[in-house]
């Protein structure tokens, strides 16, 4: 048996299949690469080829990427990296795929070009190798209710979710910052709907994701939450019951008065947005009134930010390894001795809520 990873490339473009296959095989950690032109062929090949990782195009004839992903997760759970375009439809579908169990995604822009972007191919190769080592059960074992909700939103995107958003007005008593990377969209889909909107608390979300996708993620979280969730814009003000997500490609910092500032400065920890950048600015403005949660993700982004928050008296919680897709970011905080609590994902909402309740005043007012 050959050493190294086995990858199945699923794409309706023959040129893309050939190019991705050739590039992946150039990596010494990848031993075999097979291809399939659509989801139906892929499902037949999985049983015989038994890949370690699958790359899956979002848009395909005969069987699209979402349908193929659902079948893969139901019949032969395998780490999947989606290949996505930049259209609004593609980005929304990609977010759905991440909620349904895909490990990560890469932009397809340039892969079909004869002189396609080497950086994109390097990104794909790196994510394939990361995907091979994720805790797949923590991505593939979503509860059926969450799956049905995600599929319903895909089929009926304009149908609003009935809910009453209780809000308060006045001074923000505390700020909660949540950071995540690989496996984050799935974790956020479970965590954010459990957070209270009726406390004097604002929320900031930092998910490692390129431009064009954070807006779709924020919109999906907004539909399932009592919180108002949206992608942050320059000059936004932190408000109670509002969760602002750092836009892909921009660092998000906080000015005095809770005003959002975005910048496209150099990547920090190899990423932009960076949780460290946001957390350090939050520590300067909000001091001990900050609670931070670090969720699943590769690398150590967030560790130095948590250190800054702890230094001014803030609180921290990190996701336990047992529920992480990738135990990287939480591990870096825990091993640095900066985690006040280390708990599974389903316990993080209550930990954050208890902290916020200590700092906030409840209101019986209803939002306009």
Q: Looking at the annotation, which residues are catalytic?
A: 181, 208, 301
β-pair partners for 166? 366
Three-state SS for 359? helix
Q: CA 234 to CA 296: how far, in whole Å?
A: 27
Quick one: CA torsion of 90, 136, 271, 23, rounded to 10 degrees? -70
| Burial degree of 143 (CB within 10 A; 0-12, 13-18, 19+) | exposed
- Look at the alpha carbons of 298, 300, 305, 308 in this order and tell me if their dihedral is positive or negative: positive
DSSP string, 69-102: HHHHHHHS---EEEEE-SSHHHHHHHHHHHHTT-
CB 344 within 8 A of CB 318: no
């Amino acid at each position: 048996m050959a050493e190294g990873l086995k990858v199945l490339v699923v794409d309706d473009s023959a040129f893309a299949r050939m190019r991705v296959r050739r590039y992946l095989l150039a990596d010494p950690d990848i031993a075999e690469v097979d291809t399939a032109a659509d989801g139906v062929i892929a499902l037949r090949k999985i049983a015989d080829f038994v890949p370690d990782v699958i790359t899956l195009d979002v848009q395909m004839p005969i069987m699209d990427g979402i349908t193929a992903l659902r079948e893969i997760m139901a019949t032969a759970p395998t780490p999947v990296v989606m290949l996505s375009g930049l259209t609004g439809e593609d980005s929304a579908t990609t977010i759905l795929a991440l909620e349904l169990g895909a490990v990560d995604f890469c932009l397809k822009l340039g892969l079909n070009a004869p002189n396609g972007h080497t950086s994109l191919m390097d990104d794909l190769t790196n994510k394939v190798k990361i995907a091979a080592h994720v805790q797949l059960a923590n991505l593939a074992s979503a509860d059926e209710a969450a799956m049905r909700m995600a599929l319903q939103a895909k089929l009926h995107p304009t149908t609003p979710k009935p809910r009453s958003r209780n809000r308060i007005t006045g001074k923000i008593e505390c700020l909660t910052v949540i950071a995540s990377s690989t496996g984050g969209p799935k974790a956020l889909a479970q965590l954010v709907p459990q957070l209270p909107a009726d406390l004097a608390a604002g929320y900031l979300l930092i998910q490692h994701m390129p431009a064009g996708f954070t807006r779709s993620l924020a919109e999906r979280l907004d539909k399932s939450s009592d919180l108002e969730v949206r992608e942050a814009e320059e000059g936004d003000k932190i408000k109670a019951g509002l969760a602002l997500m750092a836009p892909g490609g921009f660092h998000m910092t906080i000015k005095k008065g809770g005003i959002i500032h975005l910048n496209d400065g150099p990547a920090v920890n190899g990423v932009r947005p960076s949780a460290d950048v946001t957390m350090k600015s939050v520590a300067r403005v909000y001091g001990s009134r900050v609670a931070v949660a670090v969720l699943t993700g590769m690398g150590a982004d967030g560790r130095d930010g948590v250190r800054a928050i702890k230094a001014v008296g803030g609180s921290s919680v990190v996701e336990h390894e047992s529920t992480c897709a990738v135990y990287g970011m939480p591990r870096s905080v825990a091993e640095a001795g900066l985690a006040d609590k280390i708990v599974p994902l389903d316990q993080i909402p209550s930990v954050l809520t208890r902290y916020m309740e200590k700092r906030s005043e409840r209101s019986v007012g209803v939002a306009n």
